[in-house]
Amino acid sequence: MRDDKLLNYLHLHVIVFIWGFTAVLGALISIDSIPLVWWRMSMAVVLIFIYMKWKKIPFQLVGKGSLSRKRILGFLIAGVVIALHWVTFFGAIKESNVSVTLAMLSMGAFFTALLEPLFTSKKMVWYELVFGVVIMGALYYIFQIETKYVTGMILGLISALLSATFSILNVKWAKEHPPSLISFYELSSGVILLSLFFVFLPVDFVMPSQLTQMDWLWLGILSSFCTAYAFIASVKVMKFLSAYTVMLTINLEPVYGIFLAFLILGDAEEMTPEFYIGAVVILVVIISNGILKTRLAKK
């Protein structure tokens, strides 16, 4: 069992590295966030559908072992959450840059600590509130320095909150159902939601002919490697890891992503020293929270 946890923990780090590259792809793809996420999720749904057919994984809508209506509804709601998470995530990148967005996304672990008592039997502990005050101070510091990126930072924080909610919901389900099944329903739900956006909101759909050759290349990588594979794999590792462990590891996404962005995008990602001070404070506090929680649990 310990080996299973170790292997899945290492696998999670690979997934998080891939997610760090996802942010770079969001900056490289030329279309806006909502059509970008629609194409990403639609292409991923097709790939997962083919995978499930190939592996003969039942969709379990009817017959023996079928999913309850309540569980399917849960998957659909989670799909809405993940779609909005991605829309705000890529929206934050378009409004600011990869570095700012990923720094805000690191708040996900703190939001998880706040939300878990609402969804589970976990109780709030005093030191998490103290850490929260420090994080809020670091965020305020960044907001004061990087005033031109305020919209992107707000979208990034909303994205982090949605990501935390999604992780908490999926941890329980991942222990009961095949990850590809969960991914199929959740991503399909997101596609339906975003399709409604094009119908009822002033959002323009991007036709295939409007995508450049490079857009198709980046979308292909984004939907297959960074979504279909990473999404199924992340749900799978949740069978062995807690929501907090998953969210804590995901906090390395800013480290991987900012490094990749600076390497690939160059000067566009260069920030002030004050920004990096604030971002480092947030990461150190969140990692310290995880270490303290682990040591107290052992005692």
Reference 179, options 220, 247, 239, 248; nearest CA is 239
User: Which pLDDT belongs to residue 213?
Assistant: 94
pLDDT band at 3 (very low <50, low <70, confident <90, very high): low
How far apart, in whole angstroms, are the C-alpha atoms of residue 28 and residue 14? Answer: 21
Higher pLDDT, residue 101 or 140:
101
What pLDDT, in 10s, does the model give residues 11-33? 888 888 888 889 899 989 999 99
Q: Which domain holds residue 88?
A: 2-298
User: Which pLDDT belongs to residue 261?
Assistant: 83
Q: What is the mean pLDDT of the chain?
A: 82
User: Which pLDDT belongs to residue 102?
Assistant: 84
Q: Percentage of the chain with pLDDT > 70?
A: 86
Q: What is the mean pLDDT of residues 125-148?
A: 78
User: Which pLDDT belongs to residue 62?
Assistant: 47
Is 1's pLDDT higher than 60?
no
User: Which pLDDT belongs to residue 81?
Assistant: 94
pLDDT band at 63 (very low <50, low <70, confident <90, very high): very low
pLDDT band at 61 (very low <50, low <70, confident <90, very high): low
- What is the length of the chain? 299
Q: CA 47: distance to chain centroid?
A: 19
Higher pLDDT, residue 110 or 174:
110
Handedness of CA 262, 86, 150, 160 (dihedral sign): negative
- Between the CA of residue 208 and those of 35, 190, 215, what are the distances in Å? 11, 19, 10
User: Which pLDDT belongs to residue 268?
Assistant: 67
How far apart, in whole angstroms, are the C-alpha atoms of residue 110 and residue 194? Answer: 28
Handedness of CA 49, 53, 54, 58 (dihedral sign): positive
What pLDDT, in 10s, does the model give residues 264-277? 887 766 677 788 88
Contact 149, 96 (CB under 8 A): yes
Domain count, the chain: 1
Q: Kindly state the tokens that stand for 42.
A: 């639609």
